[in-house]
Amino acid sequence: MSEFTNTGAFPAVRPDDDAEREARHQVLATLLGAYADGEVPTETASQIDAHLLGCVRCRREFDVHRSIRARLELESIAPATAALRDRIIAGINTTPIALVRASSPDQAGSFRGRVASRSARALAALAVAAVMLTGLMWWRRSHEPASAPVTVVAELSVVLFSEVLDDYRRVTATELPGRSRDLATVRAALPFPVRALVSPELRLLAAWTTDLRGEPAAVLAYRWNDQLILQYVVSEQLLFRPAEVRRAFADGHRLAARSGAQSVIAWPASASGELLVADLSVNALASLRASVNDR
């Protein structure tokens, strides 16, 4: 319910009536804020002008409004972080919800029905194909050897490795940009599945999105024996682009590189590509990968 609804002029009263004078002050007390903000009608403003000339209490009340407003107007606004901007941009670049909704009203009645019927049949066929494909992928994954052989290449021979290592160094030099509860948001923002690694010895610390070679990627940070491990999840198109990667995967190998104190290891997931980076040896990373599941 509104606490005050009369925005017109306050009532005229006899100046010698104390009760009404107090009532007038009470009305003014509510109006003075709006008066200070230029939000009362001209007629009311004129009456308040006249009243203020002879009323010390209301002048002080008016001063309260004016000075608080002046102080609050000086409040500086801190810029939003770059990580927030990046997450929002990644979100809208990969969540075309509005476009899907916007396209449906363009279609006319009977045409819409035919399209809907055809679409339903196509969707059903796609669903069957997806189930079969998922089953096949699951079978392949479940039969994949836990410790696949690793091919080690020079870091610079795979540009994706260089970018991932650079990103790892940049991130680990500062505060982690996300938190573990961001995982659901990260998953919603990316067009490919993002599976977290699961092991009693791994604890998820944070999740966020980033750009690798101009394409969106997820980053999941874990604690493992007091060591920070970063898992990068990229699209399969991005992972399979380099010839070295395709050759290694075709031979059933994982691909790894060492650069200074850091190593990176990459492997294909069912509908994405994954990389682990840490200040560890290639062998240690390969063992870690072999010891975890994902979900």
Applying the rule CB under 8 A, the residues between 162 and 221 that interact with other proteins are 179, 181-182, 185, 188
For the bound state, the minimum distance from the C-beta of residue 209 to other proteins, rounded and expressed in Å, comes to 11
Q: Give me the amino acid identity at 200.
A: P
Q: Give the strand pairing for 150-154 and 254-259.
A: parallel
Burial of 149 (0-12, 13-18, 19+ CB in 10 A): exposed
Contact letters (x/-) for other proteins, 90-119, by CB under 8 A?
A: -xxx-xxxxx-xxx----------------
Applying the rule CB under 8 A, the residues between 18 and 47 that interact with other proteins are 29-34, 37, 39
Around Cβ 230, how many Cβ atoms within 10 Å?
22
Nearer to other proteins, 188 or 290 (CB): 188
Residue from 45, 89, 271, 284 touching other proteins (CB under 8 A): that is 89
Structure tokens at 272: 């994405």
**Contact call for residues 165 and 259 (beta carbons, < 8 A):** yes
Residue from 41, 46, 50, 81 touching other proteins (CB under 8 A): that is 81
For residue 252, CA distances in Å to 160, 245, 246, 281, 289 come to: 20, 11, 10, 21, 15
**Contact call for residues 8 and 41 (beta carbons, < 8 A):** yes
For the bound state, the minimum distance from the C-beta of residue 240 to other proteins, rounded and expressed in Å, comes to 22
For the bound state, the minimum distance from the C-beta of residue 35 to other proteins, rounded and expressed in Å, comes to 9
For the bound state, the minimum distance from the C-beta of residue 220 to other proteins, rounded and expressed in Å, comes to 17
Per CB under 8 A, residues contacting other proteins are 1-7, 29-34, 37, 39, 56-57, 60-61, 63-73, 75, 77-81, 83-85, 87-89, 91-93, 95-99, 101-103, 179, 181-182, 185, 188
